[in-house]
Structure 1
Amino acid sequence: MTIFALKGSLEEITPAQLSEQTCSAVFITDSAHAEETLRTANITYEGVISLRDVVFCKIESQPFCLAGTLSIPKLLDIKGSRHRIQFFIDNKNMVIIDDEEFSLRLVQRIQRSRHNQGESREHFIYNFFSEFMLSDTELLAEHEQKLMELEENVNDGKTDDFLETITPIRKELLILRSYYDEIMDLGRELEEDENGFFEKKQKKYFGTISDRADRLMGRTVHLLEYATQVRDAYQSHVNAQQNKNMEFLTVISTIFFPLTLITGWYGMNFQNMPELKEGYPGVIALSVIVVIVCIIFFKRKKML
């Protein structure tokens, strides 16, 4: 269990020093010590603590606290496992439960990079959410660049491995869209403050969280639409290529159709046909002439 006192800066304190503090505190622990930490923070939670059951970002009002969960995609493997966190907030303290020490690393990053690290629970929550969403804009920019490269390749006729490349991008964008939607709803729930745990003038931080998630979701939706346009362009290219192939086969069939007629006609072998004895070279010449005429015709029509 790690305890940080909220004094403008995040000051790490021991449990023995906790009773001397009048300010709010943030407790970070793992699921094995969750109940003990909640007791130390004087937070009463009526429910089961299980990080394995965390699949969404959400928050709910309990009689004596706010209970929330965070299911944060790992940026290096969005379709894979997630950072799973439970958190509890009352009118003074906040407890974060995390078995991977991801939350502790976020707090340490806040300590290193932010001058105002959290003078209140509201400001700390804003810093905490902002920190794990910090690289999302860069991630979406990378996806946009990949889609632009795919579009250029389609325009240049380079469509090898197109579906294998765009399908994972679309799946990741769909996951991120749902994730940002959940964060946006969570921020709004915090801003509504059904239990009255937060100061009115401090609730602006939660609105900022919702706005940031809303912007990220908007950009994600834009990229999904762009991915659809790129895929449509690819499908148009494939259809055009198939039409070319069908046109070529049609021309070839048209060229050789007269030859089929000639061979069928002279293959009847009627006894009174004058061509039976000396007509073989003439039929060959006729066939060659027909093929040449057809080729010249289709060349002029730019169909060959």
Structure 2
Amino acid sequence: MSCYYRMEERVRLLGKEPPEVWENILAVIPHEELSVAPLPMGLRPPPHIMRGKEQRYCRITFEAGQVAGFFHVPAHTRQATHNCAFTWCGSNVLLVAYDDFVQVCLHRVGQLSAHKNAGSADFIVDFLSVLIQDELPHIQRLEESLSSLEQDVLQGKVSRFIHQMSALRQELNRFNRYYAQLNDMADSVLENVPEWFDSTSLQRLGYFARRVDSLRDETQMLREYASQISTEYQAQIDIAQNRIMKTLTIVTTVFLPLSLIAGWYGMNFAYMPELHWTFGYPAVILLSAVVVCICLYFFKRRHFW
């Protein structure tokens, strides 16, 4: 349902009916009501906002007297995927809601510090700030998941490593792109409409851009950490394969003399001295056992296992 607010030191709810005078007004309009909402011409969103559900990335556009942006917030372990959009014209802002995510963000904006002589520029910076408010704990959880996965690899618990690592890498890639897109949006605003901000809000927008850049560095570091863990996993697999090959080699080496003995005494030539000997069979068994014991003793002394 559509709601209208006035942007003062704090965002104040006006009601569900559009105001008579549009000045420092924040309009929150559900996407399905956007085409019939009574909006000033400057707040009318461009076509890409109307097709917002089809987008899977963040973008911002600048037209004459209007800034329009779209946010695609990727899903993670404690949050579903969310979309929202905005248009900004003069002292007024339109937020396009696709679900309840916009209301959650507005609640968080209301918990931030009040701004003296606040307006649309301060609200835009506040809204951008709450988008990344919980990102550091999320990155911390990803780091803990990677650390736990590394411990499992070192302990040989690798049965589901590929599935878990694949999910973590996909999540890191999604958020790395998300932070890159937010950083690009902030840089674009600073470059194209710096005159729309006063000195304080401009400084806060620069701080937001640095925070997003820092978050991107953190995700890049975790991506490198994930690659390191994958290398450790491959090393563990190689060690296990080497152990198997070593065991097979030792077994083959131990039984190779027995194969020679079996082939030698299996010829059954007429004049073999042991062919008609009463103790020939037990003697061959004893010889084979002695050969095996000698081989095992030799490998043990050489620390082959």
Answer yes or no: same fold by TM over 0.5: yes
Amino acid at match of 2:32: A
TM-superposition CA deviations, 1:149-177 (whole Å, max 9, x none): 22223223333322232221111111111
Distance in 2, matches of 1:262 and 1:206, equals: 85
Residue 199 (1) aligns with residue 197 (2): yes
The whole-number CA distance in structure 2 between the counterparts of 1:41 and 1:6 is 19
Amino acid at match of 1:282: A
Comparing 155-164 and 218-227, the one that deviates more = 155-164
Q: How does 1:68-217 map to 2 (within 5 A)?
A: 68-76=69-77, 82-111=81-110, 113-116=111-114, 119-194=118-193, 198-201=196-199, 202-217=201-216
Distance 1:39 1:264 in 2: 97
Change (3 A) 1:43 1:159: closer
Distance 1:6-1:181 versus aligned 2 partners, 3 A rule: same
The yes-or-no answer on 1:285 pairing with 2:286 is yes
| Number of aligned residues | 299
Paired AA for residue 54 in structure 1: Q
2:9/2:115 contact within 8 Å kept:
yes
**Offset at 1:62?**
2.1
| Cα RMSD, aligned residues only | 2.2
CA contact (8 A) 1:55 1:71 kept: yes
Report the CA distance between 1:16 and its aligned residue: 6.5
Aligned partners of 2:169 and 2:223 also within 8 Å: yes
Preserved contact between residue 269 and residue 276 of structure 1 (Cα < 8 Å): yes
Within-5 A mapping of 1:21-36: 22=23, 24-36=24-36
Matched position secondary structure for 1:276: coil
Percent of aligned pairs with the same amino acid: 26
Asked whether the equivalents of residues 4 and 13 of structure 2 are also in contact (C-alpha less than 8 Å), the reply is: yes
Given the two structures, how large is their TM-score scaled by the length of structure 2?
0.90
Residues 249, 210 of structure 1: alpha-carbon distance in 2 compared, 3 angstrom cutoff: same
C-alpha distance in structure 2 between counterparts of 1:30 and 1:197, whole Å? 30
Q: Which runs of 5+ in 2 are unaligned?
A: none
How far did residue 75 of structure 1 move? 3.5
- For 1:116 and 1:37, locate their aligned partners in 2 and report how far apart those are by CA, in whole Å: 29
Within-5 A mapping of 1:212-251: 212-251=211-250
Deviation at 1:287, TM superposition (A): 1.0
Q: Mind listing any 5+ residue stretches in structure 1 that lack a counterpart?
A: none
Residue 198 (structure 1) shift: 0.8
Matched AA of 1:74: A
